[in-house]
A and B are shown apart, each in its own frame.
Chain A
Amino acid sequence: MTPEAFEARLRAVLAERYHDRHPFNLRMHEGTLAADEIRTWVRNRYYYQTRIPIKDGIILAKSEDPGFRRQWIRRIRDHDGDGSAQEGGLELWLRLAEAVGLDSADVASLRDVLPGVRRACDAYVRFVSTRDLLESVASSLTELAAGGLMVERIACFEKHYPWVKTDGLRYFQSRTEQAPRDAAEGLRYVLEHARGEEDQARCVRALERKCEILGALLDGVEWGARQLRLAPDAKVHDEPEGPLVVLAERAVRVNETGREILGLCDGDRSACQVAAAMRLRHAAPPEVEREAYAFLEEMEKLGVLEAPADPTPATERPA
C-alpha cells in the first residue's frame, strides 16, 4: 500500500470499529444513561487511565531513539502531572469522579473495578508488552478518533448531564488538544516505520485489536448493570456440608458467602449493587467487591444466575 492508502486503511478501521459506535457510548451521547451508569463508567474507566502511563512506559523502553523517547515521555507526564502545578490526566479524571458524585479516594483504590474492565485494560498492557515498538505505537492510534469524540462528549455532558459540574469536564478538554497531537506523532511514526505490506498488515491488526479492547471495556461496564437472578431451574438446598445449588445437569457447592450473594441477586439489584451491598455488610475484607464479581461471573457461566436481558430469555414457568 502507498502511505496514503495505508493511512486510509487505518482510518477505515476506526470508522468501523472505534468504541464511539459501542451501544454504551451511543446511549451516553444520546443522553439516556442513568446517573448510576455514568458513575459506573467513570469509576471503571479510571482503571484504564491508570494503565496508560504504564503502557507508555513499556513503549518508551522499546525504543533505541532518544528523539522518540523525548517525545513519547511527554504522554506519561500528561497523565501523571508534574506533582505540583500541572495537573495530570489521572488527577483530572478523579475530579470528574468527584463531579459525578463519587469519592475520589474510593475510585483511586480500584477496589470495585469490574472484572471485564480489568481484563480488557490488562489485555492492553499485555499487548504492548509482547509486541514490538511498531505494533505498540499502531495500537495507540485510536487517538486519531479520540479528539473528535472528546469534543462531542463535552457538548453531550453539558446538554444531557447538567448535574455533572463543569470542573469535572476538564479531562475531556485537556484531551481535545493532547489526543490530536499525540495521534499525529503516532501516525507519522507508523507511516515511516511500517515498511512493506507485512508491517502495514501488522499495524492494521494492532489497531483492530485495540478497538476490540476498548469495546470489551465498555462491555465490562455494561456487565455491571446486569440484574442477575437465580435461574428458574436453580434451587438452593441447605445441607450440613454447606449450601448446594441444584439446576439442570449440575449441582454446585457454594459457601455461606456465596449463599449470601445469591440471596442478593433478586433480579432487581445490578451486579454493582450486589457488590456494594456486600461491602456494606462486610467492611473488613479489602477484596470484597472483587470476590463478589468473580463469584457472580462464575455463577453466570454455570447457569446458576441469569439476567432477564439474556438473548434467550427464560420466561417464567407456569406455576
Chain B
Amino acid sequence: MSAPRLWNLIAELTYRCPLRCPYCSNPTDLAAHADALDAPAWGRAFVEARALGAVHVGLTGGEPTVRRDLLAIVRAAAAADLHAHLVTAGVPIEADGLAALARAGLGSVQLSVQDAEPEASDRIAGTASFARKLAFARAVRALGLPLTLNVVLHRHNLARVGALVALARRLGARRLELANAQYHGFALRNRAALLPTREQLRVAALAVEAERASSPGLEILFVLPDYFAERPKPCMGGWGRKALVMAPDGRVLPCHGAAELPLEFWSFPARPLRACWEDAPGMNAYRGEAWMREPCRSCPERTRDFGGCRCQSFSLAGDAAVADPACALSPHHALLTAARDRDTAAEGDGPGLRYRTWHLA
C-alpha cells in the first residue's frame, strides 16, 4: 500500500536519562544504542520530515535535555517549520536553558511528574527530582509556553488523581495526561508491582470525571490500561500511519516498541527519511489492513483501532500479526486476563520495583 502522510516525528534524541522510572518505554537494552545523530543530522531529518508532511516534532528520549546540542536541534526544528514540542522530566535543564530554547523557537513543553507527593514522585523516578520539576513547570509558564503535564498511573499513585489535577491547575497546565502504564519493556518486568486493581481504576475514573467538571480550561486525558479494557487502543494512530519514532541511533520505527519485533527497519541518514518511512519492509509490515487475520479482518472497529498494538501481540502471543490480546474478541485475550488476575491478586504493594537500568555491554 502507498505510505500515508507523515504528521509527527518523534525524535528520541538519546536514551540517557537521570531518572530510573520502572515503566520506562525505552528498550530494555537501551545502553547498546549510541546517540549516533549530531544536530546537523537531526536538522536534515527535520527538513525531510517536513517534506513528508510532518508539522510536529516531539523532542524526547530518554531525557532530551541531557544533549549539549539541544539548542541547535530546537533551532533546526523551527527552521524546518516544525512545531517543536519538548518532552522532558524537567531535569537536568534549568530555567535559563529553557529560556534559550524558547528564544530558539521551542513551541511547547510536556513535563512528566511521577506523583503529586514529593516523596512518592521521587521514589518512582528513582532520584530526587520533584521540587526541580515544579520549578521547571513555573519557568515554562513564565515564558508563556503551553504546558502539558504527563503522569504515568499505576497501583501506587492512582489514589491521587484528584491531587494531580489540582497540581496541573496550580501550575497553569493546558493539558493533563493521566496515562495508565502500558506494560511493555521495563513496565512488563514490573507488571506485578504496578498493575492496579479494577476497583482502584473505578474510583480514579470517578475522581477524574468530577475534576473535569470543575477544571475549565484544562484538558484532561485519562487512558485506561489495556488490561482492563474490552477493546485495544488505536496504538500510534495506526502502524506507520501518522507518526514515526526515530531512535537515537537513527533507526526509523513506527513506535517506541517495534524494535523488539523481528522486522527489518531502515536507518537515517544511511537512507533518506522518505525511504525509511515509505519503503522499509518493517514499516510496511502492518500498514493498512492486508496483514489482518480474523477476528480483525472483518471487524467493523478495525478502522477505529487499526487492530491495536502489534508489539503487545508479539510479546504476549508470540505473533505480531494476531489480534491484540487486549481485545476481548482475541483468542489470546485470556493470556492478558490471566496475567492481570494473577498480578493484581497480591495483597499490599506487591513485589519491589525493578528500576530502569543501564548495563554497559
- Report the Cα distance A244→B143, complex, angstroms: 25
Q: Which residues of A contact B145 (CB under 8 A)?
A: 233, 317
Give chain B's interface residues, CB within 8 Å of chain A: 7, 55-56, 81, 83, 85, 99, 102-103, 107-108, 110, 141-146, 148, 172, 174-175, 217, 219
Whether A318 lies near B99 (C-beta < 8 A) is yes
**Contact of A66 with B by CB under 8 A:** no
Count of residues in A whose CB is under 8 Å from the partner chain: 22
17 further A-B pairs in the complex, CB-CB below 8 A; given A233-B145, A303-B219, A312-B217:
A233-B146, A237-B55, A244-B55, A246-B55, A246-B56, A248-B83, A248-B85, A248-B146, A248-B174, A251-B7, A251-B56, A312-B172, A314-B144, A317-B102, A318-B99, A318-B103, A319-B103
Q: Which of A207-241 contact B (CB under 8 A)?
A: 231-233, 235, 237
Whether A232 lies near B144 (C-beta < 8 A) is yes
Q: Which residues of B contact A251 (CB under 8 A)?
A: 7, 55-56
28 contacts between A and B (CB under 8 A): A232-B144, A233-B83, A233-B146, A237-B81, A247-B83, A247-B107, A247-B108, A247-B146, A248-B83, A248-B85, A248-B107, A248-B146, A248-B148, A248-B174, A248-B175, A249-B85, A249-B110, A249-B175, A251-B55, A303-B146, A314-B146, A315-B142, A315-B143, A317-B102, A317-B143, A317-B145, A318-B99, A319-B103
**Contact of A64 with B by CB under 8 A:** no
Q: Which of A288-319 contact B (CB under 8 A)?
A: 303, 310-319
Q: State the total of A-B contacts with C-beta under 8 angstroms.
A: 59
Q: Which residues of A contact B110 (CB under 8 A)?
A: 249
Give chain A's interface residues, CB within 8 Å of chain B: 231-233, 235, 237, 244, 246-249, 251, 303, 310-319
- Report the Cα distance A244→B53, complex, angstroms: 12
Chain A nearest CB, measured from B357 CB (Å): 31
Whether A235 lies near B144 (C-beta < 8 A) is no
> Which residue on B lies nearest to A245, using beta carbons?
B55
- Report the Cα distance A316→B143, complex, angstroms: 8
Q: Which residues of A contact B141 (CB under 8 A)?
A: 312
Chain B nearest CB, measured from A229 CB (Å): 13
> Which residue on B lies nearest to A318, using beta carbons?
B103
Top 8 nearest A-B pairs (CB, nearest first) are A248-B108, A315-B144, A312-B172, A248-B146, A246-B55, A314-B144, A233-B107, A246-B83
